[in-house]
Amino acid sequence: MSGYPLAAMTGIYRVFNDKHWVGDIVAGAGIGILSTEIAYWLFPLTSKWFSSKEEREALSVVPFYQSKTVGLTIIKTF
């Protein structure tokens, strides 16, 4: 919840410094909020796929892009 004011201030700062248009900020906020809502909605389903009640294992798959490099990080906790 505390991330929203920080994100809003960052967006306002970038608009005032001519780094983004207001439409970019609004679109980015919409995509961020929508993707978070989808993740919360899908979490119960995906947690059933990757773990059982007897086993408390975890699996994380995270794509990344950094310095013109694309990759995928897979973390499995036993």
Give pLDDT tens digits for 4-43.
889 889 999 999 999 999 999 999 999 999 999 999 999 9
> In this model, does residue 1 exceed pLDDT 90?
no
Indicate the pLDDT class of residue 78, thresholds 50, 70 and 90. Answer: confident
Separation of alpha carbons 76 and 78, rounded Å: 6
Indicate the pLDDT class of residue 59, thresholds 50, 70 and 90. Answer: confident
DSSP 17: T
Number of domains in the chain: 1
Q: What is the CA radius of gyration of the chain?
A: 17
Separation of alpha carbons 4 and 75, rounded Å: 28
Separation of alpha carbons 57 and 78, rounded Å: 5
pLDDT for 14 equals 92
Bridge partner list, 77: 58
Range of the domain at 35: 3-77
